[in-house]
C-alpha cells in the first residue's frame, strides 16, 4: 500500500467529486479504488477482481463521473451504461452514483425487470446521463427505442460472474455489440472463471488488471487475539453490539466505522442506548486524544468510536476489545485494527459485525491471515439474563464476605434491618434489596431477541448481494425465545424529514418507560421508519411517539404488521 495518508487527493479526481466524498465522510480510498481510479481516468479498459463491500462501486463510478463532467450539460442521450445482475444491485449502484454525482449535476436511473416499465420509460424520456440496468430489461428498452446506446462512452459489467450465472451471457454480448466501438469497458467480478476471461477477450481492449488479492500474504495476527464474527442485518448492528458488550463487559473498547458520519451516528446511538461512548475525530490534536484515552482509562468512557484515520497514533495500551462495525474492505486494515489489542503478551478480543453480503470480505481476511474467524450468535435474552443473575449473585456474595471482615459496617446497618423486619418478612426485605442491586447492575426486563442473519447453506451466493428477506431469517441453530416477543412500530417520518436512528432512540427513551437498551433494530427509510420494541410496549411507544415531536415535527405512529405473501 503506497502513501495511504493522502486520502483521495492524489488519484486525479476533480474538486466537485472530492467535495462530495468529503461530505460523505470518506477519508481514504479503499485498495481497489486506489488502484482502479487512476487507470480508469486515463481511459484504459479495466478487469477488476473485487467483491461487494470492497468499494468497487465508487471505484468505477467516480472515474465515470469525472470523465463525463464536461459533457453533462450538452448530452442528449445516456453516456454511461452499468450492467448488473439483480434488481437490488441496480438500485444500490444507482443510489451510489446519485450520491457521488448529484453535486456535479449527473442524473442516473435504475432499470430492472419487475418494475412497471412505464415509470422507467418516463425517466428515460426525460433524459439521463447514466443508466444502471439488468441486461434483460436493458435489451427490452433498446428494442422499444427507449434506450439509445449511440452516445455511450463507458460500459461497466458489474458482478460479471453473477450475470453469467444468471444466464445473461447472450444479452451482454448483444448489448456490447450495440454500443459504440470507441468506448471504455470495465468489468468487475468477484471470481474469474474462464468464461469471464472469454468475455474480456471479446469485448475489452488491452485491459489493465486490478485486484485486491493480497500481494503480500505474510501479515500475521497476534496469537493472543481471539477473533469472532456475528452475522446480523445492518439495522440490528447497534442493538447487537450493545448486547455483546453487555455480556462481554469489556474494560476498554474501540469500535471502527467506515466514515466520519457513521462514527458520529453510532456514538450518539450508543449513548442513547445507555453506553458511554466517545467519538474520536481525525481533527483532534494530541492533547485531545490523550484526554479521550484518559477517560477510557478511568472508566468515564467505555467505548471509543473512530475511523481508521482518526485512530492513528493512539496510545492504545488500555484497549482490551476491538470491534469492526463493518468488515473492513482491505484485509490489511483488519489486521492493523486488531493489532491494537493482544499486545505485549496480554490477550485481546476482536469482534466483527458482518452483514450477510460482507461474508466474502471476511473470507478474504481469513485467507490473508490463515486463520478462521469463528462465527458466534448474538447473546439471547436468556443468556443475557443468566449473565445478569450471575453478576448480581456475585456482587452480593462479595459484599457478604467483605462485611464479615468489617464488623463496624454491619453494626451500623443492623438497626435498619431490625426496623424493616419489624414490619416485613425477612425474605421480602432480602428480595427487595436484591432487586435494587440487580437493577443497579444494569439488569433489565423485556429485552428483545436479535436474529442471526447467517445465510442458509441452500441460499448460497444470492445472499451476498444483500437479499434482505432471506438473509433476515433466523439462523439455523437458534430459536426465538418464547419469553419476549418483538413488536414493531411504524413511524410516519424518515430520511426525507432528516430523522436518524438516534432521534427515535432518544424520543422513545425519554417518553416511555423503555430504556435505550430495550430498543431493537431501527430502519429509517425515505418516508417512514420502523422500530423494534418489546411487543408489550408497542402501545405505549405508539402513544408516546404520536404525541411528541420528532426533529421538530409531529408524526403519526402505529403498530407495524408485516404482510406475508
Residue 555 grid coordinates: 408524526
* CA–CA gap between residue 405 and residue 45 (Å, rounded): 78
Residue 103 grid coordinates: 453535486
Distant-in-sequence, close-in-space partners of 409: CB < 8 Å, separation ≥ 6: 403
User: Which residues, listed in sequence order, are joined to residue 523 by a DSSP beta bridge?
Assistant: 530
Q: Please report how close the Cβ of residue 20 comes to ligand AMP at its closest, in angstroms.
A: 12
Q: Please report how close the Cβ of residue 228 comes to ligand AMP at its closest, in angstroms.
A: 22
Q: Please report how close the Cβ of residue 502 comes to ligand AMP at its closest, in angstroms.
A: 19
Distance of CA 281 to the CA centre of its chain: 19
Q: Which is nearer to ligand AMP, 124 or 333 (CB)?
A: 333
Distant-in-sequence, close-in-space partners of 241: CB < 8 Å, separation ≥ 6: 255, 270, 323, 325, 353
- In SS3 terms, 293-307 reads as HHHHHHCCCCEEEEC
Strand order from edge to edge, sheet including 253-256: 277-279, 303-306, 253-256, 321-324, 348-354, 225-231, 374-376
Beta strands in 15-111 (DSSP E): 46-49, 80-83, 108-111
Q: Which is nearer to ligand AMP, 468 or 478 (CB)?
A: 468
Give residues in contact with ligand AMP (CB under 6 A). 26, 28-30, 33, 52-58, 258-259
Residue 237 grid coordinates: 448492528
**Which H or E run includes 88?**
helix 87-101
Please work out, in degrees rounded to the nearest 5, the angle formed at the alpha carbon of residue 232 by the alpha carbons of 231 and 237: 125
Q: Please report how close the Cβ of residue 84 comes to ligand AMP at its closest, in angstroms.
A: 11
Q: Please report how close the Cβ of residue 57 comes to ligand AMP at its closest, in angstroms.
A: 3
Q: Round the CA-based radius of gyration of the chain to a whole number and report it.
A: 27
Beta strands in 263-320 (DSSP E): 277-279, 303-306
Q: How far is CA 128 from CA 97, 114, 133, 171, in A?
A: 12, 21, 13, 22
Q: Please report how close the Cβ of residue 9 comes to ligand AMP at its closest, in angstroms.
A: 13
Q: Which is nearer to ligand AMP, 28 or 162 (CB)?
A: 28
Q: Which is nearer to ligand AMP, 26 or 560 (CB)?
A: 26
Q: Please report how close the Cβ of residue 257 comes to ligand AMP at its closest, in angstroms.
A: 9
**Which H or E run includes 133?**
strand 130-133
Q: Which is nearer to ligand AMP, 302 or 308 (CB)?
A: 308
Q: Please report how close the Cβ of residue 27 comes to ligand AMP at its closest, in angstroms.
A: 6
For strands 557-559 and 486-491, give the pairing: antiparallel
Q: Which is nearer to ligand AMP, 29 or 455 (CB)?
A: 29
Q: Which is nearer to ligand AMP, 36 or 489 (CB)?
A: 36
Q: Which is nearer to ligand AMP, 50 or 149 (CB)?
A: 50
Residue 478 grid coordinates: 437458534
Q: Please report how close the Cβ of residue 259 comes to ligand AMP at its closest, in angstroms.
A: 5
* CA–CA gap between residue 158 and residue 357 (Å, rounded): 15
Q: Which is nearer to ligand AMP, 33 or 492 (CB)?
A: 33
Residue whose C-alpha cell reads 455480556 in the numeric block: 247
Q: Please report how close the Cβ of residue 170 comes to ligand AMP at its closest, in angstroms.
A: 27
Is 547:262 a contact under the CB 8 Å cutoff?
no
Is 353:323 a contact under the CB 8 Å cutoff?
yes
Q: Which is nearer to ligand AMP, 212 or 225 (CB)?
A: 212
**Which H or E run includes 353?**
strand 348-354
Q: Please report how close the Cβ of residue 51 comes to ligand AMP at its closest, in angstroms.
A: 7
Q: Which is nearer to ligand AMP, 53 or 348 (CB)?
A: 53
Instruction: Determine the residue with CB nearest ligand AMP.
Output: 57
Amino acid at each position: 500500500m503506497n502513501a495511504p495518508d493522502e486520502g483521495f487527493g492524489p488519484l486525479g479526481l476533480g474538486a466537485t467529486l472530492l467535495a462530495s466524498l468529503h461530505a460523505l465522510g470518506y477519508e481514504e480510498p479503499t485498495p481497489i479504488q486506489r488502484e482502479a481510479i487512476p487507470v480508469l481516468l486515463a481511459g484504459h479498459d479495466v478487469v477488476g477482481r473485487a467483491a461487494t463491500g470492497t468499494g468497487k462501486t465508487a471505484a468505477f463510478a467516480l472515474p465515470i463521473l469525472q470523465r463525463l463532467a464536461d459533457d453533462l450539460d450538452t448530452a442528449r442521450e445516456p453516456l454511461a451504461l452499468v450492467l448488473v445482475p439483480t434488481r437490488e444491485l441496480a438500485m444500490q449502484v444507482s443510489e451510489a452514483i446519485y450520491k457521488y454525482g448529484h453535486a456535479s449535476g449527473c442524473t442516473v436511473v435504475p432499470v430492472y425487470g419487475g418494475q412497471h416499465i412505464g415509470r422507467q420509460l418516463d425517466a428515460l424520456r426525460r433524459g439521463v446521463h447514466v443508466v444502471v440496468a439488468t441486461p434483460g430489461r436493458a435489451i427490452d428498452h433498446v428494442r422499444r427505442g427507449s434506450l439509445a446506446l449511440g452516445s455511450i462512452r463507458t460500459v461497466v459489467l458489474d458482478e460479471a460472474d453473477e450475470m453469467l450465472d444468471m444466464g445473461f451471457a447472450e444479452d451482454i454480448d448483444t448489448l456490447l455489440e450495440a454500443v459504440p466501438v470507441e468506448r471504455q469497458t470495465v468489468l468487475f467480478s468477484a471470481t474469474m472463471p474462464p468464461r469471464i476471461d472469454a468475455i474480456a477477450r471479446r469485448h475489452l481492449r488491452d485491459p489493465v488488471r486490478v485486484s485486491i488479492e493480497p500481494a503480500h500474504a505474510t501479515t500475521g495476527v497476534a496469537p493472543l487475539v481471539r477473533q469472532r464474527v456475528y452475522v446480523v442485518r445492518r439495522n440490528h448492528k447497534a442493538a447487537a453490539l450493545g448486547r455483546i458488550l453487555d455480556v462481554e463487559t469489556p474494560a476498554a473498547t474501540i469500535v471502527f466505522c467506515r466514515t466520519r458520519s457513521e462514527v458520529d451516528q453510532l456514538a450518539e446511538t450508543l449513548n442513547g442506548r445507555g453506553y458511554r461512548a466517545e467519538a474520536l475525530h481525525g481533527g483532534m490534536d494530541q492533547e485531545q486524544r490523550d484526554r479521550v484515552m484518559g477517560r477510557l482509562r478511568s472508566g468515564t468512557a467505555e467505548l471509543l468510536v473512530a475511523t481508521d484515520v482518526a485512530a492513528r497514533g493512539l496510545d492504545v495500551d488500555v484497549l482490551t476489545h476491538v470491534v469492526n462495525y463493518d468488515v473492513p474492505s482491505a484485509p490489511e486494515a483488519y489486521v492493523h485494527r486488531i493489532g491494537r489489542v493482544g499486545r505485549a503478551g496480554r490477550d485481546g478480543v476482536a469482534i466483527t459485525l458482518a452483514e450477510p453480503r460482507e461474508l466474502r470480505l471476511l473470507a478474504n481476511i481469513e485467507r490473508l491471515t490463515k486463520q478462521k474467524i469463528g462465527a458466534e450468535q448474538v447473546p439471547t435474552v436468556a443468556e443475557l439474563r443468566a449473565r445478569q443473575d450471575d453478576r448480581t449473585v456475585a456482587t452480593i456474595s462479595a459484599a457478604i464476605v467483605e462485611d464479615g471482615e468489617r464488623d463496624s459496617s454491619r453494626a451500623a446497618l443492623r438497626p435498619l434491618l431490625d426496623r424493616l423486619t419489624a414490619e416485613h418478612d425477612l425474605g421480602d426485605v432480602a428480595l427487595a434489596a436484591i432487586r435494587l442491586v440487580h437493577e443497579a447492575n444494569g439488569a433489565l426486563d423485556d429485552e428483545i431477541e436479535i436474529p442471526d442473519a447467517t445465510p442458509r447453506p441452500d441460499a448460497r451466493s444470492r445472499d451476498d448481494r444483500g437479499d434482505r428477506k432471506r438473509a433476515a431469517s433466523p439462523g439455523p441453530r437458534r430459536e426465538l425465545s418464547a419469553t419476549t416477543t418483538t413488536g414493531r412500530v411504524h413511524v410516519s417520518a424518515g430520511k426525507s424529514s432528516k430523522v436518524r436512528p438516534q432521534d427515535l432512540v432518544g424520543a422513545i427513551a425519554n417518553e416511555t418507560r423503555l430504556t435505550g437498551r430495550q430498543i431493537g433494530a431501527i430502519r429509517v427509510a425515505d418516508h417512514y421508519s420502523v422500530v423494534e420494541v418489546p411487543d408489550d410496549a408497542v402501545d405505549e411507544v405508539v402513544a408516546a411517539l404520536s404525541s411528541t415531536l420528532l426533529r421538530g415535527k409531529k408524526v403519526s405512529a402505529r403498530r407495524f404488521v408485516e404482510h406475508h405473501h
